[in-house]
Structure formats: structure tokens, C-alpha cells
Structure 1
Amino acid sequence: MNIEIPDGLGDLLRDFTVAVLRERPPDIYDFAVRFFTKVRENRRPKDVPMYVIVDDDDIGEPDKDSFKPKCQRLNRYGRRQSVSAERYDPEEDVSDDEKACHGKTDEQRERLTEAVSGILLFRALEPEQMQDVLDAMFETVVHPGDYVIRQGDDGDNFYVIDSGQYDVLVTVNGEEKRVHTFEGKGSFGELALLYNMPRSASVMSVSHGSLWAMDRNSFRRIVLKSAFKKRKMYEELLENVPILKSLEHYERSNLADALVTKKYTDGECIIRQGNEADGMFFLEAGVIRVTIINPDGEEEELGQHSKGKYFGELALIENQPRSANVYAVDEVKVAFLERECFERLLGPCLDIMKRNSELYKQYTEQHSVKVNCE
């Protein structure tokens, strides 16, 4: 039976999800009633707003002839606004545009590196992609009262805070309300770029400060395209893991988005027996060696595994310390799933994992007994 998805359903659910994540209501059901009631009331046609197109030169460009760039002064009246944001499909993007590169002093690059170090969006990027991020970002100075972004505008830049205080403002029934304040760190502006939608809130500078900005094209090329490639690669990896066959496609996609790449060199310990479990691993490339410390205190090898195997789940299932050691053989690349994501994303597979863990425990117990008898 073919089920036709009504027009507008995807956009409606997306907007509702964004609103929930932004406002974090204590009662999601009451919030849903208010949200959809307001959507229904706002369905009447509205006048199309007039956009003023301002050249980038009006807000200043980095000095390309100097190693030290000019900081851009944010102009609340001269911001670049696009009439409409084209939809971006990373799968169809085969362009090889010239990378944006804004020169920086060593001091600026050090500050920027520290500012982006905790940004979740960049966590899955490879080292060379992080260098592209650092090159593409430019510094913007702000003064009290400057609007960095305005609710309803199209997204032009993604921002990382270097210094200063910033209020997040949402206009409700014509009244602007403060919903959050950034104090010297954080990032904002990614939702409009990620979902090709207008700004969902305004951000105003409360004090003097500086921001690191990345233009929309660079953000898409580095963040969205790399995230798409990462998801495709991990989806292919996960499709070959037998216990994950019970997952639906969208569940594997969510799992792929949560994985983080980690690399280990020859002989490096990936898991230490007795340590607290922080997550589980999927072997992406290379070979691992598994050992246990037997009752006599001697370390004994149980076997080796190659691409497609998973490990580290036993301690999470049993809520106990690690029961074995895992070492890298030559160069090893793994996909790491944090403990917090484990039960949420792998719920349908937990029963299978528990059965496998019982077999594993029986094997190790039998093996230990055999060693002691010898």
C-alpha cells in the first residue's frame, strides 16, 4: 500500500522540532497545542517583506595584501541579506570551488582554535577539514546594541563567540523577549544554514566583543558536505554489522550521525580492563587484539578482529567495568558511540547484544578454567 505524505508535513514537523529544541518547554504536549494553534492562526497571507541587497564591500573585507586582516565592523543597517536561500544537496554538489581563506596572525589563530574547540558541529571533522574551518572564518567586532542576526532574515553566516555577551531574543506577539544569554563562549546561527530556513531568533550584542564568522557557502562545503560523506561512510559500515540488520534505515542513519572517528597507532590501548565504560566501538579499519588478565595476573590473548566487528558493549549492557583489554595492531580506525547515545540509538538491538554477551562471558569463563587446569 502506497502512503502519500501530505505537502508541507515535513516542514511543519521540522519547525516544531526546532521550536522545542530552542525553547525547551517543561510540558511538550501543552507547548504542541500552543504551537500548532499559532501556526493555524498565522496561515493568512502576509505581505512579502522588502529586502535590501547590500554589497559585501559595504561591511568591509579582510585586507588580502596583508597577513594581518582588518576586523570587520558589524553594521546593523548594512548587513548582507539574500532574497532566498537555495536548497543545498551535498550529494549533487560536485563543485570544487576555491576555498575561502582569511589571513590571521598567530595570536588570532590561537584564539580561534580555542573558541571552536568545543563546538559540537566540528567534532566529527578530520584534521584537514578543521584547518579549512580555521582558514574560512573571519573576525567581526561588535558594540553594545548591535544585532548580529535578526529573526526572520535569511541565514548568511555561522558565528562562534570569541568574547562578549549576547542576548538571544524571540519576537512573540510583537514583543521581543530574551530567551538566552551567551557569556563569552558558544556558537549560533547554524539552524538557518542547516535547514535552509529563516533565522528563528535575533542575537544582539550586550557588550563590546568579537565573533568568528563563516559564510554560508563555506559552512555548507565544509560542515554539511563532510557530514554527508561521514554519514554515507558509516551507513555502509553499519550495514555490514550483523546485529544491526534489525534497525530501520532511519535508525541506522541516526546512529551514523552519532558516531565519532578515533584513530590509534600500533600497540596503543583502546580499552583497558577494569576501567569504567564510556562507550562502544565499531571497527572501521585495521585489526584489534583482545586480551584478558587471568586469575594468576597474566595477560592472555583471546583473539584478533578486523573491520566490521564491534566491541566495548558488554560493560555498557552489564553496567560494569571493562572485562578485557583491546589493543591496536598497526594503524586502527574506529567509530565511537558515546555511552549517552548507546541505549537511545541501539534499543532494538539490546536483546541480541545481551544474548551475545552471555555467550562471550561463557567463552571467557571456560577459557580461564582451561588455562588454570593447564
Structure 2
Amino acid sequence: MNARCSVSCIVPPHILQKLLESTDPQIRGAALGSLLATTRFRAERRILSEFGFTPNIAGGMRRTIYDCQHGRVLNKSVRVCGEGDASPKDPTVKRAYDGLGKTYDFYKTVFSRNSIDGRGMRLDGYVHFARAYNNAFWNGRQMVFGDGDGRVFIDFTKSLDVIAHELTHGFTEFTANLAYHNQSGALNESISDVFGSLVKQWSLGQRADEADWLIGAEVFTPDIQGDALRSMKEPGTAYNDPTIGRDPQPGHMDDYKQSPDTEEGDWGGVHINSGIPNHAFYILAANIGGHAWEAPGHIWYESVKASTETTDFQEFADTTFHMAGRLYGAGSVEQKAVRAAWGEVGIRVNLVSGVAARAAMTADDADSVAALGRKLEGLAKQVSALKTEVAQLKEGRYPDIAET
């Protein structure tokens, strides 16, 4: 579990903070309630992380949807739909159930991955959380959806890419576990946007040139001047409205925004600077053409698996380049497209770097190296213990042992 223990939300804090400035008490109150609820869940997750968390392994797809009935305590919610049950009448419950299923099917069909942890982790969704809750989040164990305040946001289950975005935080957590701050955190958010968009495109059978590349296109009310929460195709253009402000995402490293590494600063701007790797993926998919979940998706998927907690933009760019070479051949169209895409967002790929060896490893290789590392660590501890014993003998701490 990453030390930041952040609750990963789809709506960035700068939008909710902007809503706190509204002269409308209803909008202001909903924003404050949403921020406070998220803070409470962040504290709960930090406590749970101290004890560790073992997923409930189900074997195959197993979805369960709970109705919070506008309460804020998840363990007081009511189970309303389980795997294989009759189609629920509540449209929010149905969308959550179907969205979890489409995301599971995507990872299973495209990447042969059994749920987000790869081992059949059950997928639990909680709907109708709180009142006028303007967000949806992954808390490390469950998906939680708000209904929105009806003034700025509406039901968050209406966007499939929002559901897939949040579940993908689980995939990232169980693989690279990218630290949720600065560039590694922005990369964490970007990976969720990338695969959130891919799930939507896959479910619709869209080619890269047919997709809208928008995240959360369905969550704003008609009163808000905006297309979505984020645009991968054109970062910085998703919305521009007096109530929520203007989309601050950059699409190039020249415009990288270094925010404070605090909760108020969105941990270094993780929801803002994610626009840069988002744009790189869009450019790659557009240049290769066809279905973005094929070559581009596989390159990104394997690169996440080869990443670590501290992977930054440069390291990830290098990894994707070398991974494209391993998957499709050195000098292949795909590898050249990866290099060009990162170049267009201001990141020059290192043709020879420390990540090359890691990117070239198979999963079995990585497991073998990890096992060898553990053995060496154990041997080092034994050698250290022996050195201590020898030193103690020399100092005469064991007088009953005769010197030889």
C-alpha cells in the first residue's frame, strides 16, 4: 500500500475548491460536504493500511452492488444486487453493475487479467453515497459513487469511463503501486484515464479516430459549459465555466505545473499534470490507428507492470519505448510511434537507459530476479549475524567458550 494512502477521486480538488467560492449556498454546501467526506475516507484508508489488506479472492467475476441510501457509512449500506441476480430496477444500480462487468471483461479479454488484482478480486460498488456528493472514488477496496448535486454534477455512474478509471486505480495499485504525488501520482491518474477511455472504446467497438477521448463526458449538468472533466486529445479544453473555472491541464512539459505536495495542492497537481502522459497516449493511438486497446494498450499495460512506486514521466516514457521494442520488434512502427509521441509532449526518450533491462524482462524473469534478491538479502543478514558473533567472541563476551 502506498504511503500516501490517498482516496483516488475522479473530480479533482481544484474544481471542488472553486465551487466553495460560489455565491449559491446549495453549490457551496455540496462542495464542502464532498470535500469533508473524501477527507474522512482518506483517514480511514490510512488506518486500514497499517493493518494491511488482503483482497477477497472469488476466482472469476463477482460483482456486488450496495445502496448507501444517502448515508456516509459503507458498512451500513444495503446489498441490492449480486453476481447473476435479476436485472435491478434502479438505473444507478444497473449502470454500476454493468460498468463493473464491462471493465472486468475488458481486462480479461484484452489482457487475460482476472480482475484488477489479476487473481479474481471481487468488485464491490456502492451507490447513492451521501447527499449531493460530487465525486466517485476508489478507496483501495471498493468503488463509491455519488449522485451529484444536480446543479453542477449528476449521477457519476452515467460515465463508463469514470467507473473504469476508478477500478484502474486498483490495477495500478496491485502492480506498480505508483506513489500518489508529483509525477508518479500524475502518471497514476493518467493510467486510469487511459484505460478508462480504452474500456469505453472497447465496449463501443470504436477505432482511435472515432473515439471522443473525453473522461466523464456525461457527469456535468447542462448548466455547465464543458464537454467533460478531461480531454486526452486536447488537454486544457475540457471545460471553461465561471462556476468551476477553466481546465488547467497542460499537454506539454513546457507547461508543467508544480503545485504544493499537499492535499490542498492535489499532491503536486496529480490531476493536472496527468494531461501530459494522457496526450502522449492519444498521439500514439492516433498515429498507429485502428483500435487503441491493441498495440498502444498492450504497450502501456506491460509498461505499468514494469514500473515501480517512484516511476516518473521520463522513466515511464523510456519503459514504453523499450517495451514496444520487446513486444513488436526493435525499430518497429510501434516503437517509432512511441518515441515520436513522447517527443511531441516534450519528453525525449532515452534509447539506452536503466529501464531497458527491466522492460525487456518477462514476468517469469522478474519473479526469478525478485526471488534471487530475497535469497541474497537473507544471506547478507546471516553473514552480518556471524560477524557480530565473531566480534563478541573476540571481545570475550563468552568467557565460558575456550579460545581455539
Same fold (TM over 0.5): no
For the superposition of Structure 1 and Structure 2, which TM-score range results when normalised by the shorter chain? under 0.3
Greater Cα radius of gyration, structure 1 or 2: 1
Greater share of residues in strand: 1
Task: Please report the TM-score for the alignment, with normalisation by the length of structure 1.
Answer: 0.28
Task: Please report the TM-score for the alignment, with normalisation by the length of structure 2.
Answer: 0.26
